[in-house]
Structure 1
């Protein structure tokens, strides 16, 4: 085991490779935080499947992977001489091939991020069966988001000491800027939803639940996002629709909201739950959300229910009937849970592979 002093010395000259799908905010923030904490150099290859934007980060170099053969990517990585590699799951077959070559050499850790819970589906059972001949040969470690993802990692055959936690974290410092105390003056009656307006997000369940509530106690349901079901939302009463917004405006939206709702019928993780908890919002969510065990405790800071119209309606009615004092207590408790995982703990977990 390296001492703290020796670990810091190693970190100061460290190099890391990231194999990325797209530079979504949490992935960009992970790389920024790693560089901030360790002053390391990062080489990355990204697939740009859905988003071609590239972040501007010091000591960071990235390439679109399909501009190279897999053999050329491997040569670039070996020339770079990283201390470890992190890959965003196992969706890109070229990334898996590269990881297998590096793992075969046995010189450095190769870490795969995973936000997929164990569902017991036939495809997952097949993955578990072939993992010793496939994933276990590509990755030395799995870096999982939480408890439910840890279970899948164990099913895939990774030992306890080869599973790292907290691979996903909201920008806690940013969302903690929401001032809970200011809500004492007049608690806002806005129930906030942020995300795609799509089937898997349970939008229809949420709309039906909202419509069935006769006395909404002056609350409004605020949707922030876009998607195919926007026309369905337009038909609903006491609803406000807003487009996707930047982080600064989103912070203001959370400041003006009294609670958060996520009605998904399918959600591997749901980083927005972490953001809402960090912002100190009471939360109602469905129990299929992978992040829900970490950021929502029934009757402590909100409610978890199955993705069912009646159950969601009952949870919303229960929450909007609470006094301002009870809602404030839920808010404080949400922030406590939101602070349980941070970008610092995320990077600290990752750095265990070189300690």
Structure 2
């Protein structure tokens, strides 16, 4: 069985999906990348990779027709070449063509236009939507996709990697460290987080670690009990989770936020704003963390609530995060995807 992935570049969740699909006996994956890949999984058995910059549109279509796949998975509809070739293939082959979607419904003019033209545009290209979660499901329905044509569990982190983080080792000395991982840009809400942090007079021995890169980074310096670190690989992030007591993501807008899933698998208490697409899946307020409004006051209160917990309570939050993390896994995502094949 041949399965095609059309990716913009090789993001961690796409690599995990491809790896999991390849565990199915007899499957060969053909992956076409739009950009120069950050990480190219050339060493995966039964994976064949192609670069779109080496192909014209007609060559791209011809290559797909020669492969004659049973399923095509597309990284959304932002790349016009992907939408064009999906429409062409649907006319020639009676196969499912599935589009990823991590886009939340916000009711913007652009989204409303997409909904109006969907019957002549997106629904001509795609038979199914592979939605990240419930926020994305809402948009897929508004685009006109019937309930049976929407599958879930599209974005899973590397569960095997992050489950290696030990909760038990934190019992003796629980790490009093809030951890943020992300780009240093305004939409991530770093200004809210720093203001909230500065307003906490008694930090009870807790520190704040900020990991990532971006234009705002140069503006953050000489802050009390704040540690700055550079962009990290997945394995380095796992090690950082070992030293963390609570993960925090104060985003003003976040379509999904795979890092929330990573933190849940790693068994961390979590604070995140309720605009994050992954938040309703991996955070229950008072159970393993706090979903908050993107405001200084709400973030400050949630951090103070975490600080007030005992080690036993924090460890219970940790265990509960790991329980919630199992609701989305690479195995479940792959099973959902392959289920659309007739």
What TM-score, normalized to structure 2?
0.97
Q: Distance in 1 between matches of 2:250 and 2:26?
A: 40
Partner of 2:267: 280
Q: Deviations over 1:324-352 (max 9, x none)?
A: 11111110100001111110001011011
Partner of 2:28: 41
Q: Distance in 2 between matches of 1:82 and 1:324?
A: 53
Q: Offset of 1:39 from its aligned partner?
A: 3.9
Q: Distance in 2 between matches of 1:247 and 1:291?
A: 18
Which of the residues 264, 280, 284 maps onto 1:293?
A: 280
Q: Secondary structure in 1 aligned to 2:22? A: helix
User: Is 1:117 matched up with 2:111?
Assistant: no
Q: Deviations over 1:75-112 (max 9, x none)?
A: 00110111110000001101101000111235111110
Q: Which moved more, 1:242-251 or 1:176-185?
A: 242-251
Partner of 1:202: 189
Q: Secondary structure in 2 aligned to 1:36? A: coil
Q: Offset of 1:52 from its aligned partner?
A: 4.6
Q: Offset of 1:121 from its aligned partner?
A: 1.4
Q: Offset of 1:246 from its aligned partner?
A: 2.6
Partner of 1:16: 3
Q: Secondary structure in 1 aligned to 2:82? A: helix
Q: Offset of 1:233 from its aligned partner?
A: 2.4
Q: Distance in 2 between matches of 1:99 and 1:244?
A: 35
Q: Deviations over 1:107-139 (max 9, x none)?
A: 111110000011111111111111001000000
Q: Deviations over 1:240-280 (max 9, x none)?
A: 11112233332221111100000111100000000000000
Q: Distance in 1 between matches of 2:165 and 2:239?
A: 8
| 1:53 to 1:279, Cα distance in 2 relative to 1, 3 A | closer
Q: Offset of 1:37 from its aligned partner?
A: 2.8
Q: Distance in 2 between matches of 1:248 and 1:174?
A: 8
Which of the residues 317, 330, 335 maps onto 2:322?
A: 335
Q: Secondary structure in 1 aligned to 2:23? A: helix
Figure out how many residues of one structure are paired with residues of the other and give that number: 341
Partner of 2:235: 248
User: Is 1:153 matched up with 2:153?
Assistant: no
Q: Distance in 1 between matches of 2:227 and 2:115?
A: 45
Q: Which moved more, 1:102-111 or 1:275-284?
A: 102-111
Partner of 1:167: 154
Q: Which moved more, 1:57-66 or 1:301-310?
A: 57-66
Partner of 1:311: 298
Partner of 1:259: 246
Q: Distance in 2 between matches of 1:38 and 1:271?
A: 28
Q: Distance in 2 between matches of 1:179 and 1:42?
A: 34
Q: Distance in 1 between matches of 2:38 and 2:219?
A: 30
Q: Distance in 1 between matches of 2:13 and 2:69?
A: 22
Q: Secondary structure in 2 aligned to 1:261? A: strand
Partner of 1:213: 200
User: Is 1:55 matched up with 2:41?
Assistant: yes
Q: Secondary structure in 2 aligned to 1:354? A: coil
Q: Distance in 2 between matches of 1:170 and 1:201?
A: 20
Q: Secondary structure in 2 aligned to 1:19? A: strand
Partner of 1:84: 71
| 1:285 to 1:244, Cα distance in 2 relative to 1, 3 A | same
Q: Distance in 2 between matches of 1:158 and 1:121?
A: 19
Unaligned segments of structure 1, at least 5 residues = 1-13
Tell me if the contact between 1:233 and 1:239 (Cα under 8 Å) persists in the aligned partners.
no
Unaligned segments of structure 2, at least 5 residues = none
What TM-score, normalized to structure 1?
0.94
Q: Distance in 1 between matches of 2:307 and 2:218?
A: 26
Q: Offset of 1:44 from its aligned partner?
A: 1.7
Q: Distance in 1 between matches of 2:143 and 2:93?
A: 20
